């Protein structure tokens, strides 16, 4: 008996050792590109041409960062912040509004509507690209960040509604709602005082995923904006590339500063990453 | 995912309290749903219809002059599309990306999630760093990997040179079959973290007491995962597969920024082909036909997979 127990223990240790081995390999695979990016953004152009990219920078220089600031990096950055802030606010509010009836009210069209909205997840943005380009031109917002908000919100809606309505269905107990109703709480007060506050965990998960997505969005931004004064961060890259063709360290500095805010926000909110997803994941 | 369930309704009789309640529910539902429906109609439904309409014209996107070509007669965009080898080549590439994305992203995501689920909170540092690739934009990833894979002093070439002791150039992006598979690999690097979190969420949705019961019955962690957890995760895995499938059929960013579909058309996808036709060659009518064709194909494949998954569940 004791022998068998020891055998099982040894086997368990072996399995964990192998698992750790692969876990560390994937850790390196995930992290080395970042290391490569950060280290090489800290060297001079001549240093890179001379020593290649695998040595430590000699010497470490930080002048690439002020240099990109001088070339208008903050403009791209602020435009991205504005677009993401506005789009995300609209997206989260609209999603919460829609998820409330889709998860908690009884009416005939509830399930068909929900299925329809979820099915829109498979709509490729390219099928809407030319018409949205035309619309932006007609309304006169082409080549400004305002053209990006509508499509960013709309394309986040299907998945967000799916996740949040599952979340509301599973995490907010019916009794809370009933108790509020008995206390004379109407539907609209119910939404703002009870449903919305209780959905916070789900909403923060959605904010992380959609925020990352909007921050990095490329195709709409590339189609709907043209001038330097309207471009967002994902487009800054090609602009900087155009202006500094061979200066790779400088471009890597642009990349580093573009992901940095995402990494910082992620480190702060990472515990919210799974919670809101749970309801959407279990149901499938 | 969009499985239709039936809800039972007793039709309330007019004039009763239940009827008044049903009416007020309907009204409230309409108010709450209005913003989402409005947004979806303006930015999805109407554009889809408009794309189909535009696909009947010859139009360069700028001038007011549009020429009606019709839909299925000879010389129309749709006729051209059906006989366009480049489009079908792009579609084939999309299918390859789809198959290999699922084959790579699902197992990697699942392995990472299983490791984290079995290890508990003390492995959180792994989860944090494993998630990093997902935070980066496709344009940045494309640039970084183009650079890392470059033949002059990129990572792979340098590693190969180091191993063989003499200069060895490995061109993963320049030559035809390599380019597509290189991009598939980079996509796996980028998206595995998303499915990892999705599967972690699935795991945490499983009742802790099931694991305890399995342990009391003498099961090991491995047996618990295979016999209890994985079967319970089936709907999660199914949803993840559907997402990955749809995602890879409409994929654009990374290919556009890494290869622009090249060399030649070897890594062309439907989306890059559409973009090229519309915004580089300014054939908006034909671009619309490509986009509409893409929409039809994606919808059909998504429906087909849903059907297959669903029939598999009935045993």
To the nearest 10°, report the CA torsion of B56, B45, B249, A206.
Answer: 160
Average pLDDT over residues B195-214: 90
Mean pLDDT to the nearest integer, B102-127: 92
Closest partner CB to B132 (pick from A34, A122, A283): A34
A265/A272 Cα distance (integer angstroms): 11
Confidence of residue A65 (pLDDT cuts 50, 70, 90): very high
- Give me the interface pTM, i.e. the ipTM: 0.90
Chain B residues whose CB is inside 8 A of the A52 CB are 153, 158
Predicted pLDDT at B315: 41
* pLDDT value for A211: 94
Mean pLDDT of A136-144: 93
Chain B positions in Cβ-Cβ contact with residue A258 (cut-off 8 Å) = 137, 140
Q: Nearest CB to B135: which of A161, A266, A283?
A: A266
Q: Quickly state the pLDDT bin for B4 (edges 50, 70, 90).
A: very low
Q: How far is B201 from chain A (nearest CA, A)?
A: 5
Is any Cβ of chain B less than 8 angstroms from the Cβ of A128?
yes
Q: What is the mean pLDDT of residues B210-235?
A: 88
Q: Which of B147, B236, B299 sits opposite A281 (nearest CB)?
A: B236
Nearest CA distance, B266 vs chain A (angstrom): 20
Residue of A27, A101, A122, A213 to mutate when probing chain B, most B C-beta within 10 A:
A122
Note the Cα A99 to chain centre separation in Å: 20
Residues 6+ apart with CB under 8 A from A159: A121, A209
Strand partners of residue A234: none
- DSSP readout, chain B? ---------PPPPTTSHHHHHHHHHHHHHHHHHHHHHHHHIIIIIHHHHHHHHHTTEE--SSSS--EE--SSSTTSHHHHHHT-HHHHHHHHHHHHHHHHHHHHHHHHHHHHHHHHHHHGGGGHHHHHHHHHHHHS-HHHHHHHHHHHT-TTT-HHHHHHHHHHSS-----TTTSHHHHHHHHHHHHHHHHHHHHHHHHHHHHHTS-HHHHHHHHHTT--HHHIIIIIIHHHHHHHHHHHHHHHHHHHHT--HHHHHHTTT-STTTT--HHHHHHIIIIIS--HHHHHHHHHHHHHHHHHHHHHHHHHHHHHH--
Quote the minimal CA–CA distance from A66 to chain B in Å. Answer: 20
Q: Is A219 within 8 Å of chain B by CB?
A: yes
d(CA B258, CA B179) in angstroms, rounded, equals: 9
Please tell me the distance from the alpha carbon of residue A270 to that of residue A212, in angstroms, as a whole number.
13
Question: Do B267 and B281 form a contact (C-beta atoms < 8 A)?
Answer: no
- The distance of A104 to chain B (nearest Cα, Å) reads 10
Contact A57, A72 (CB under 8 A): no
Mutant choice from A273, A281, A283 vs B, greatest count of B C-beta within 10 A: A281
Nearest-CA distance from B73 to chain A in Å? 22
- Mean pLDDT throughout B280-286? 92
- Cα(A257)–Cα(A72) distance, integer angstroms: 13
Q: Is the pLDDT of residue B268 over 80?
A: yes
**Beta strand B67-68 pairing with B57-58:** antiparallel
Mean pLDDT for the stretch of residues B226-254: 91
A111 to chain B, any CB pair closer than 8 A? The answer is yes
The SS3 call for residue A151 is: helix
Partner-chain residue, chosen from B199, B235, B252, that has the shortest CB–CB distance to A219: B252
Task: Assign A184 a pLDDT band (cuts: 50, 70, 90).
Answer: confident
CB-CB under 8 Å, B139 with A234: yes
Closest chain A C-alpha to B96 CA, distance in angstroms: 18
- Find the closest chain A residue to B192 by CA distance: A30
pLDDT (tens digit per residue) in A260-279: 999 999 998 888 888 778 77
Task: Return the pLDDT at A7.
Answer: 86
| Residues of A with Cβ-Cβ distance to B47 under 8 angstroms | 127-128, 130-132, 135
Question: In Å, how far is A129's CA from the nearest CA of chain B?
Answer: 8
For residue B159, pLDDT over 80 is answered with: no
Set out the domains of chain B in order of their start, with CATH numbers: 86-313 (1.10.3720.10)
A153 and B131 within 8 Å at the Cβ level: the answer is no
Cα separation, A69 vs A61, in Å, equals 15
pLDDT tens string A80-101: 999 999 999 999 999 999 999 9
Is B235 in contact with A282 (Cβ distance < 8 A)?
yes
Residue of B129, B138, B295 with shortest CB distance to A27 = B129
pLDDT surpasses 90 at B111: yes
Mutate to test the interface with B, among A26, A52, A124, A270 (most CBs of B within 10 A): A124
Does B25 sit within 8 Å of A52, measured CB to CB?
Answer: no
Task: List the single best residue of A11, A101, A102, A126 to mutate versus B (max B Cβ within 10 A).
Answer: A126
Mean pLDDT of the region A18-29:
93
Contacts of B273 in chain A (CB under 8 A): none
Residue B12 phi, psi dihedral angles, 5° rounding? -70, 145
pLDDT: is B169 or B42 the higher one?
Answer: B42
* Phi, psi of B67, rounded to the nearest 5 degrees: -115, 125
> What are the tokens at B75?
């010389």
- Which residues of A are less than 8 Å from B294 in CB distance? 124, 126-127
**A214: Cβ–Cβ under 8 A, 6 or more apart, which residues?**
A83, A84, A87, A88, A152, A156
Residue A258: DSSP 8-state: H
Q: Output the CA–CA distances (angstroms, integers) from residue A22 to A15, A135, B122, in the order listed.
A: 11, 50, 17
Distance CA A162, CA A173 (A): 18
Closest to B1 in 3D by CA, of B241, B295, B231, B251: B241
In this complex, do A281 and B130 lie within 8 Å of one another by their Cβ atoms? no
The rounded mean pLDDT for chain A is 89
Question: In this predicted structure, which of A140-144, B60-64, B222-226 has the lowest mean pLDDT?
Answer: B60-64
Cβ–Cβ of B43/A121 closer than 8 Å? no
- Least CA distance to A95: which residue of chain B? B36
For residue B113, give the chain A residue with the closest CA. Answer: A23
Picking from B145, B201, B301 by the largest number of A CB atoms within 10 A of its own CB, the best residue to mutate is: B201
How many A/B residue pairs have CB atoms within 8 Å? 272
Min Cα distance B315 → chain A (Å) is: 18
Q: What integer pLDDT is reported at residue B144 of this predicted model?
A: 86
pLDDT above 90 coverage of chain A, percent? 52
**What residues in B contact A31, CB-CB < 8 Å?**
129, 132
- Which of B270, B291, B298 lies at the smallest CB-CB distance from A130? B291
Q: What is the DSSP string of A59-125?
A: S---THHHHHHHTTHHHHHHHHHHHHHHHHHHHHHHHHHHHHHHHH---TTHHHHHHHHHHGGG--T
Using the structure block, give the residue that is written with the tokens 């799974």. A274
pLDDT of A59: 82
């Amino acid at each position: 008996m004791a022998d068998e127990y020891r055998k099982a223990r040894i086997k368990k240790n072996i399995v964990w050792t192998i698992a750790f081995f692969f876990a560390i390999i994937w850790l390196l695979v995930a992290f080395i590109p970042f290391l490569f990016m950060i280290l090489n953004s800290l060297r001079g152009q001549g240093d890179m041409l001379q020593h290649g990219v695998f040595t430590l920078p000699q010497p470490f220089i930080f002048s690439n960062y002020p240099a990109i600031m001088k070339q208008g990096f903050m403009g791209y950055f602020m435009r991205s912040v504005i677009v993401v802030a506005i789009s995300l606010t609209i997206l989260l509010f609209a999603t919460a509004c829609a998820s409330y009836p889709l998860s908690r009210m009884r009416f005939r069209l509830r399930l068909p509507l929900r299925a329809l909205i979820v099915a829109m997840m498979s709509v490729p943005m390219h099928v809407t690209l030319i018409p949205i380009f035309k619309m932006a031109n007609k309304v006169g917002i082409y080549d400004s960040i305002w053209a990006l908000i509508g499509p960013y919100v709309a394309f986040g809606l299907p998945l967000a509604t799916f996740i949040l309505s599952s979340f509301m269905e599973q995490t907010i107990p019916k009794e809370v709602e009933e108790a509020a109703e008995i206390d004379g709480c109407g539907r609209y007060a119910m939404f703002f005082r009870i449903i919305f506050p209780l959905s916070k965990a789900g909403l923060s998960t959605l904010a992380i995923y959609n925020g990352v997505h909007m921050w990095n969005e490329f195709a709409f931004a590339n189609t709907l904006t043209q001038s330097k004064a309207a471009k967002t961060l994902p487009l800054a890259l090609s602009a900087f590339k155009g202006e500094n063709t061979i200066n790779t360290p400088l471009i890597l500095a642009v990349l580093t500063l573009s992901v940095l805010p995402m990494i910082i926000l992620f480190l702060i909110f990472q515990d919210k990453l799974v919670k809101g997803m749970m309801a959407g994941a279990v149901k499938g | 995912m969009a499985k239709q369930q039936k809800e039972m309704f007793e039709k309330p009789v007019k004039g009763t309290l239940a009827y008044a309640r049903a009416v007020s529910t309907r009204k409230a539902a309409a108010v709450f749903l209005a913003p989402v429906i409005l947004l979806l109609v303006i930015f999805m439904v109407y554009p889809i219809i408009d794309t189909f309409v535009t696909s009947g014209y010859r139009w360069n996107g700028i001038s007011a002059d549009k020429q009606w070509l019709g839909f299925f007669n000879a010389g129309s965009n749709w006729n051209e599309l059906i006989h366009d080898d480049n489009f079908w080549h792009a579609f084939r590439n999309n299918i390859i990306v789809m198959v290999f994305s699922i084959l790579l992203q699902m197992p990697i995501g699942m392995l990472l999630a299983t490791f984290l689920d079995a290890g508990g909170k003390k492995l959180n540092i792994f989860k944090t760093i494993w998630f990093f690739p997902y935070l980066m934009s496709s344009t940045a990833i494309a640039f970084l990997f183009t650079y890392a894979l470059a033949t002059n002093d990129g990572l792979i070439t340098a590693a190969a040179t180091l191993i063989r002791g003499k200069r060895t150039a490995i061109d993963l992006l320049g030559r035809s079959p390599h380019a597509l598979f290189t991009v598939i690999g980079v996509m796996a690097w980028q998206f595995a973290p998303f499915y990892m979190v999705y599967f972690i969420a699935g795991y945490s949705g499983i009742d802790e007491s099931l694991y305890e019961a399995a342990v009391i019955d003498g099961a090991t962690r491995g047996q618990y995962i295979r016999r209890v957890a994985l079967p319970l995760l089936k709907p999660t895995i199914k949803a993840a597969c559907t997402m990955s499938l749809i995602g890879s059929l409409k994929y654009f960013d990374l290919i556009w920024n890494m290869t622009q579909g090249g060399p030649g058309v070897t890594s062309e996808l439907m989306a890059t082909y559409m973009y090229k036709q519309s915004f580089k060659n300014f054939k908006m009518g034909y671009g619309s036909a490509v986009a509409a064709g893409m929409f039809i194909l994606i919808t059909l494949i998504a429906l087909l997979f849903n059907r297959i998954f669903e029939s598999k569940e009935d045993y």
